[in-house]
Amino acid sequence: MNRHVTELEFERGLADIRTALERLEKAEAKGGPDVVAQANKVRASYDQALTEIYRDLTPWQRVLISRHPQRPRFLDYVATLFPDFIELHGDRHFGDDGAIVGGLATFADRSVMLVGEQKGRSTKENITRNFGMPHPEGYRKAERLMRTAGKFDLPIISFIDTSGASALQDDEARGVSWAIAECLKTQANLHVPIIAVVISEGMSGGAIAIAMGNRVLMLEHAVYSVIAPEACASQLWRDVSAAPEAAAAMQVSASQLLQLGLIDRVIPEPIGGAHRDPEVAAQYVQAALREEFSLLANEGLDWTTHRYEHYRHLGRMELLMDGSQTTGNGRH
Amino acid sequence: MNRHVTELEFERGLADIRTALERLEKAEAKGGPDVVAQANKVRASYDQALTEIYRDLTPWQRVLISRHPQRPRFLDYVATLFPDFIELHGDRHFGDDGAIVGGLATFADRSVMLVGEQKGRSTKENITRNFGMPHPEGYRKAERLMRTAGKFDLPIISFIDTSGASALQDDEARGVSWAIAECLKTQANLHVPIIAVVISEGMSGGAIAIAMGNRVLMLEHAVYSVIAPEACASQLWRDVSAAPEAAAAMQVSASQLLQLGLIDRVIPEPIGGAHRDPEVAAQYVQAALREEFSLLANEGLDWTTHRYEHYRHLGRMELLMDGSQTTGNGRH
Amino acid sequence: MDFLRRARGERFRPVEQQALEQLPDDVWHKCLGCRELLYEKDFEANLHVCPRCGHHHRLTVSQRIESLADPGTFAETDHELRSLDPLGFTIRDRRYLDRLREAEESAGVPEAVVSGTASLDGRPISLAVMVMEYLGGAVGSVAGEKITRTVERACDEQRALIIVSQSGGMRMHEGLFSLMQMAKSSAALARLERAHLPYISIIADQTYGGATASWVALGDIIIAEPGARVGFSGPRVLQAIKIRLPEETQKAEFMLQHGMVDLIIPRPQLRATVSALLRHLTSHCSARKAAPAPKRRRITVRSTEARE
Amino acid sequence: MDFLRRARGERFRPVEQQALEQLPDDVWHKCLGCRELLYEKDFEANLHVCPRCGHHHRLTVSQRIESLADPGTFAETDHELRSLDPLGFTIRDRRYLDRLREAEESAGVPEAVVSGTASLDGRPISLAVMVMEYLGGAVGSVAGEKITRTVERACDEQRALIIVSQSGGMRMHEGLFSLMQMAKSSAALARLERAHLPYISIIADQTYGGATASWVALGDIIIAEPGARVGFSGPRVLQAIKIRLPEETQKAEFMLQHGMVDLIIPRPQLRATVSALLRHLTSHCSARKAAPAPKRRRITVRSTEARE
Ligand SMILES: [Zn+2]
Ligand SMILES: [Zn+2]
């Protein structure tokens, strides 16, 4: 576990223990059994503190974790889980967006098409990746690669990590809404299975655009939301500082969304979050994907129909009967 | 017939007769039977001279006619033949190219999709239309509309009039070659019939891009060529002024191409060319299209296969047998 | 009828009720485009388009339906669907369910989508019209469900689909349920596409967010009304993320120029255009009905002799 | 072997002949990129890529085939096809047929395309390689026919398609017959697409015109070699129409940046990449072979309880 990550506001309590531990660990190598014992004790209390902090996170705290600068990105998972990944570039129309990466790889002895949203880490990379906010050509690249996957009968795994699609003038001019809509329609039409994994931030149309999976997975501390909590707060609370309330009200965390039937599986994270142990996080993702794969591979499903039914039933509503209200749902 | 058109170099002999006739015609209204008789005589000799000039045009002269500034454009034919035309704009990706126009109309009691290359006439319109040189988004608009036609079982009529696709840096950046290739593939895949009409200039890849008809028609003085004669001359003759020779050598005229089996029908033009009587030219085009339509409408063809076989057999070659050459062709 | 207040989306009541309350001082209306005073009867007759400057004022949902459907043919569907509050959403003790009740009262309709079947010049259509007056046309479970059912009804009953959109975006009060309506409706439209049935998407003023990025953009033909504001992020979202777009960006004319929209049609010509488009896009149906499609066979029209 | 002259496209002879004529002073070659003197054996071993600056020099067609096909598996097809002179084309009394004879002599092959079948790491492929040395890779009836047959052979024999392109454009001497090769080959590629067979399009240096605007652009995966010049109008056409494009425009790297090309792969890694891509794109075939596809049935994996 890497304890040298940027600590978030709500992890403030860790700093003292960590500092003490760092001092002890320096002494540990040449110190006697006393020092080792004490170091072990402090280590245990660090782990304890971390476990307690992460036992009961608020949705807003998860929003902050999902945006943690050291949180593993799509390409970090690719490096670990898909070592033979061949990146394929371009939308064949306009450009090669850095905020969406895609290509071919092998997983569980099967060829798969990967598509994922990619944030940067350095300033330079953030510019290349547009801070993980895809341009229209990114969605068009994703759509093209998904169609290629459909043509060659390859399952698709998509990784979602975006604060939203890019929404500047050029994006409007190149039809960001159109690109997202086409992406959705293409996924709806595909006869291959799609597994979507929300790995960190899944915000708004920019997230659902590539997340129309037959199975939708989320990392434990990832968030998935109709809109960024800040934007929700600013509109409904008329106060951007109400973002934590907005995050709570919109139920953006994985466990809540599983409860609501909006996602299919929560992938656990190591204690202290994926960014404290990216290796273990990748193993958990791998294990979950393997399970999903054995599920998918064994079924001779009509994935198009399966996907239709999957999304067809999302929504909660009631039917008004004879003037009196009867609780029901929207299925027919 | 409109005698007040710009006369081309090889029509120089007409000017004197026309001037004389103009003077007589002014007098004709209030003049006696003598004046009328003389005017009739001069009119006849004008028609005679024109007929003689147009009886035996060289390929290069036809190139000049095909580029005549007053020659009817795609939208002139639309105005006459398709009065209920509804233009549909845009490629849904980047822009709405003025050099390619498309939309729905009725012809011979059937709904059809029209797609055509459009040159301008005024300087302003020429800028909007990029002098009839389509950008990638023009071909992508054409392709989109053709796919729409395929989806809704509508025959396609395409009108070709271009000196070539636009080939500047931005066109390369947006993949002009890719756009043309996709256009070709889409036409190959369509199950609806396509009639292509080369109305004036059909130059190079920019022309064939929308001309992959089950039937290919050409106006009598239109030209259709693998490359503009000037570019051919400059490359093969190393002398741009050899363009007339290049035009002759490449056999760019309608009658030659019919003879070679490269087009299916020549549509006659009024004496002196379509630009001297656009109304009559439009009637001829209408008559030809009506005939094609009755041909197409009565057949329950597999148009995709028909188109495949149509283009599959284009090309002349021989098979070398046992070291000796036997004239043959490329079919198999 | 207080037209001005209604046009600003502050208040809306069904036409019948308005007629009862009409007062003499309401017969003139000030155009929102050119500030000209317009005589109400002319204004109504011109479908709320200013005859002077062409400004397109908002139509009520019933006026919109009347402007498209053949008289007396509109049969509303799914009127009985009502939103729930799946998240128990409250803003400073203000409950979403209360907000819904207020919205219904002020808009005069119980949802942001009114849907039904009708005919247009005799052709069967499945029609959905969005209602800006109901929570700013924000899309939640019910709006998404009604759009989806409208698409499915087109599939199942071989109708052409028409959706008139105007929407502020997704309804945040229903969280991810709202976002999923994009996927749900797009999946239905993919089915419609596979059935080769036509869909004409009509953009009225102020169409943003999830609606734009799903059903609005997926029309076979996309028509916008002149001057209609249309885009991805609505103005309030842009404000929240501190982005200012140039004035002209999110406009029908900008979208036409950039290839996203097929046509901009003034409202008085809208019905005729839609009718003509439907005639074209359904012409193969009548052709098929008229004569059963002959079996496909491979023949070569042209002589192979001529070819080589 | 006179490598430098050959690299400039002035002269080309089959490898065997070259070997015979190899003289001691030919063992060093000057790199066209960095002017470094390279030892020929290293240069050959590195597939004509400069180990110092990475400049990709032209490969002969046999080297190209050897670099992709499994040893001994290449079987040439349609070698017997020869151009005719359908237009009786002469340039100042110089006949096209004479030009063809010269081209064959200097290029060592009788057309601008060499085609055949082979395997690549055991997977069956249908392969076409263009030959710049033959009339600058200009496409006429025979080149188009050979490309088309290569595509059809892929369809008919369930092979993956690989085309290595380099071409100055369409062959003007055959007039519209040449232009029609774009339509012919695209139609064949449309058939391949409908058969769901993979096509990998490889762009070598100098690929222009009709080739680019048909088969080059229609690959499922498009790979370019580093620094390869690729574009619509070739330099001589641009010169004729008096257009000067910025240096960087018609380059593989520019095309990658603008989304047209999937990958730029240095030649030494090209074979392995193509092989891996083919493994992925044909994996469904082996999956299908391994187990007969079960009948599709509608089931819902997830519990409907969890959903509402
Ligand atoms: Zn006004
Ligand atoms: Zn070098």
What is C261-296 written as a DSSP string? Answer: -SEE--HHHHHHHHHHHHHHHTHHHHHHHHSPPPPP
CB contact under 8 A, C241 and A176: no
User: How many residues does the structure list for chain C?
Assistant: 308
Q: What is the DSSP string of A217-277?
A: EEETT-EEESS-HHHHIIIIIS-GGGHHHHHHHHT-BHHHHHHTTS-SEEE---TT-GGG-
SS3 label, residue A60: helix
Contact with chain A for residue D299, Cβ under 8 A: yes
* A151 to D257: CB separation less than 8 angstroms, yes or no: no
Contacts across the B-C interface (CB distance below 8 Å):
106
Asked whether the beta carbons of A228 and A204 are under 8 A apart, the reply is yes
- Please check whether residues B148 and B35 belong to one and the same domain: no
Confirm or reject contact between B137 and chain C (CB < 8 A). yes
The residue ranking higher by pLDDT, D234 or C277, is C277
Is the CB of residue A108 less than 8 Å away from at least one CB of chain D? no
Q: Which helix (H) or strand (E) segment is C83 a member of?
A: strand C81-83
What tokens were used for A63? Answer: 């929003």
Distance from CA of B123 to the nearest CA of D (A): 20
CA of C48 to the centre of ligand 1 (A): 10
**A150/A24 same-domain check:** no
- The whole-angstrom separation of Cα D77 and Cα C18 is 81
Q: Are residues A16 and A125 in the same domain?
A: no
User: CA-nearest residue of chain B to A136?
Assistant: B93
Chain C residues with CB inside 8 Å of B301's CB?
A: 296-299, 301
Global pTM reads 0.92
Closest CB from B264, B301, B302 relative to C302: B264
In chain D, the N- to C-terminal Cα span, in Å, equals: 76
Listed as ranges, residues in chain B with pLDDT below 50 are 324-332
Structural contact between residues A235 and C237, judged by C-beta atoms closer than 8 angstroms: yes
Q: What is the residue extent of each domain of chain C?
A: 59-290
Concatenate the DSSP letters of all residues of A97-126 into one string.
-TTEEEEEEEETTEEEEEEEE---SSHHHH
CA neighbor of D283 nearest in space, from C56, A164, A154:
A154
Question: Which band of pLDDT confidence, cut at 50, 70 and 90, is reported for residue C286?
Answer: low
Tell me the C-alpha distance between B14 and D202, whole Å: 56
Q: Which of B311, B318, B319, B320 to mutate to test the interface with D (most CBs of D within 10 A)?
A: B311
- Give the single-character DSSP code of A59: H
B303, containing H or E segment: helix B303-312
User: What confidence score (pLDDT) does residue A322 get?
Assistant: 56
What is the SS3 assignment for B160? Answer: strand
Q: How many CB atoms lie within 10 A of CB A195?
A: 24
Percentages of chain D per state (helix, strand, coil), in multiples of 5: 40, 20, 35
- A99 and A122 in a single domain? The answer is yes
Give a yes or no: residue B324 inside a domain.
Answer: no
Measured distance CA(D166)–CA(D64) in Å, rounded: 12
D40 vs A281: which has the higher pLDDT: A281
Side chain identity at D30, as an amino acid letter?
K
Cβ <8 Å between A251 and C180: no
Task: State the pLDDT confidence band at D292, using cuts at 50, 70 and 90.
Answer: very low
Q: What percent of chain A has pLDDT over 70?
A: 96
For the stretch A56-82, pLDDT in tens is 899 999 999 999 999 999 999 999 999
C-alpha of residue C52 to centroid of ligand 1, in Å: 5
Helix (H) or strand (E) holding B285: helix B278-297
* Surface of D (166-225) touching B: CB under 8 A: 169-184, 186-191, 193-194, 209-210, 212-218
Task: Yes or no: say if D262 and B175 are a contact pair by the CB < 8 Å rule.
Answer: no
Q: Is C75 helix (H, G, I), strand (E, B) or coil?
A: strand
The alpha carbon of residue A70 is apart from the nearest alpha carbon of chain B, in Å, by: 35
Query: How many angstroms separate the first and last alpha carbons of chain B?
Result: 50
Please tell me the distance from the alpha carbon of residue C224 to that of residue C250, in angstroms, as a whole number: 12
DSSP bridge pairs for B101? B116
Taking only the tens place, the pLDDT of each residue in A5-57 is 999 999 988 999 999 998 888 888 787 888 889 999 999 999 999 999 999 89
Residues for chain B: how many in total? Answer: 332
| CB-CB under 8 Å, C293 with B111 | no
Only one residue has tokens 């596409």, namely C193
Cβ-Cβ pairs closer than 8 A, B with D, add up to: 215
Chain A CB within 8 Å of residue C231 CB: yes
pLDDT computed for residue D304 by the predictor: 29
List Cβ neighbours of D3 (8 Å cut-off, separation of 6 or more): D26, D29, D40
- Which pLDDT does position C6 carry in this prediction? 35
pLDDT tens sequence across A149-171: 999 999 999 999 999 999 999 99
C257 against D24, higher pLDDT: C257
Partner B contacted by D97 (CB < 8 A): no
**Are A47 and A90 in a shared domain?**
no
Chain A closest-CA separation from residue C129 CA (Å): 19
Residue at B270 is within a domain: yes
Q: Does D27 touch chain B (CB under 8 A)?
A: no
Nearest to B175 among A93, A136, A174 (CB): A93
A257/C176 touch (CB, cutoff 8 Å), yes or no: yes
Asked whether residue B147 falls in the same domain as residue B270, the answer is: yes
| Contact assignment for B110 to C297 by CB distance below 8 Å | no
Q: How far apart are the first and last CA of chain A?
A: 50
Q: Cβ-count burial of A113 within 10 angstroms (0-12 exposed, 13-18 middle, 19+ buried)?
A: buried
Regarding whether A194 and A165 lie in a shared domain, the answer is yes
Tokens of A319: 């039917």
Confidence of residue C285 (pLDDT cuts 50, 70, 90): low
Mapping DSSP to helix (H, G, I), strand (E, B) and coil, where does residue C120 land?
A: strand
Q: What's residue B325's pLDDT?
A: 45
Give the other-Cβ count within 10 Å of D162's Cβ. Answer: 26
* Topology of the domain covering C59-290: 2-enoyl-CoA Hydratase; Chain A, domain 1 (3.90.226)
pLDDT reading at A302 higher than 50: yes
C-alpha of B265 from chain center: 12
Q: Do C241 and A228 touch (CB under 8 A)?
A: yes
In chain A, which residues have their Cβ closer than 8 Å to the Cβ of B178?
Answer: 92-93
- When CB atoms are compared, the residue of A93, A96, A300 closest to D297 is A300
Nearest CA in chain B to D208: B177
Assigned domain for A62 exists: no
Regarding whether B265 and B196 lie in a shared domain, the answer is: yes
Backbone Cα Rg of chain A: 22
Beta-strand pair B156-162/B194-203 = parallel
Q: Which residues of D touch B212 (CB under 8 A)?
A: 183, 186-187
Q: Are B321 and D80 in contact (CB under 8 A)?
A: yes
B239/C contact by beta carbon, under 8 A = no
Ligand in closest contact with the CA of D38: 2
CB contact under 8 A, C172 and A311: no
**Chains that contact C by 3+ CB pairs under 8 Å?**
A, B
Q: What per-residue confidence (pLDDT) applies to A29?
A: 77
Which uninterrupted H or E stretch holds B101? Answer: strand B100-107
Does residue B15 sit in the same domain as residue B80?
Answer: no
Res D145 pLDDT > 50: yes
CA distance B269 to B42: 23
Residue D27 CB-half CA count within 13 A = 4
The alpha carbon of D17 and the centre of ligand 2 are apart by a number of angstroms equal to 26
Report the pLDDT value the prediction gives residue D303, as an integer from 0 to 100: 30
Buried b (16+ CB within 10 A) or exposed e, A135-164: bbbbbbbbbbbbbbbbbbbbbbbbbbbbbb
**Chain D: nearest CA to A2, how far in angstroms?**
36
Contacts of D145 in chain B (CB under 8 A): 315, 317, 330
Confirm or reject contact between A178 and chain C (CB < 8 A): yes
For position A137, what pLDDT does the model report? 98
pLDDT of residue A26: 86
SS3 D194: helix
B30 in reach of chain C (CB within 8 A): no
State the DSSP code for B233.
Answer: I
**For C210, phi and psi rounded to 5 degrees?**
-60, -35
Nearest to D229 by CA among D250, D215, D260: D250
Alpha helices per DSSP H over B87-228: 123-128, 136-151, 169-173, 176-189, 204-208
Nearest CA to C222 out of C256, C252, C261 is that of: C261
| Kind and range of the H or E run holding D131 | none
H/E element, C163: strand C160-167
Whether D161 has a pLDDT exceeding 70, the answer reads yes
Residues of chain A contacting D307 with CB distance shorter than 8 Å: 261, 313-314
Chain A residue numbers touching B136 (CB-CB < 8 A): 93
Number of residues in chain D: 308
Chain D positions in Cβ-Cβ contact with residue B172 (cut-off 8 Å): 231-232, 245, 249-250, 254-255, 258
Domain that holds residue A196: 68-227+254-317
Ligand nearest to the CA of D29: 2
Residue D289, Cβ density class (10 Å: 0-12 exposed, 13-18 middle, ≥19 buried): exposed
Amino acid at B40: N
- Cα–Cα distances in angstroms (integers) from residue C125 to residues B86, C60, C121, in the given order: 21, 20, 10
The minimum CA-CA distance between A110 and chain D, rounded to whole Å, is: 7
Could you report the per-residue pLDDT of C103-156, keeping only the tens digit for each? 999 999 999 999 999 999 999 999 999 999 999 999 999 999 999 999 999 999
Neighbours of D63 (CB within 10 A): 15
- CATH at B128: 3.90.226.10
Amino acid identity for residue B316 in this structure: R
Question: Does B99 share its domain with B158?
Answer: yes
Contact D280 A313 (CB under 8 A): no
State whether B16 and B160 are in the same domain.
Answer: no
Instruction: Tell me whether residue B46 is in a domain.
Output: yes
| Residue in the structure block whose two tokens are 């994006």 | A171
DSSP string, A117-170: E---SSHHHHHHTGGG---HHHHHHHHHHHHHHHHTT--EEEEEEES----SHH
Both A24 and A146 in one domain: the answer is no
- Average pLDDT rounded to a whole number, residues A208-225: 98
> Under an 8 A CB cutoff, do D81 and B260 touch?
no
What ligand has the least distance to the C-alpha of D37? 2
User: Ligand 2 centre and the CA of D263: distance in Å?
Assistant: 22
User: Is the distance from CB of D175 to CB of D85 less than 8 angstroms?
Assistant: no
Residue D294 CB coordination number (10 Å): 10
* B264 falls within a domain: yes
Number of structural domains in chain B: 2
CA distances from B162 to B121, B139, B199, B225, B262 (A): 13, 12, 10, 11, 18
- How far does CA C251 lie from the centroid of its chain? 16
Span C10-37, mean pLDDT?
Answer: 63
Q: What is the pLDDT of residues C35-63, one digit of tens each?
A: 999 988 889 999 999 999 999 999 999 99
DSSP codes joined into one string, D260-278: S-SEE--HHHHHHHHHHHH
Measure in Å the smallest separation between the Cα of A311 and chain D Cα atoms.
10
- Taking alpha carbons only, the member of B187, B168, B196 closest to residue B74 is B196
Ligand 2 center to D266 CA (angstroms): 14
Cα of C258 to nearest chain B Cα, Å: 4
pLDDT score at D296:
39
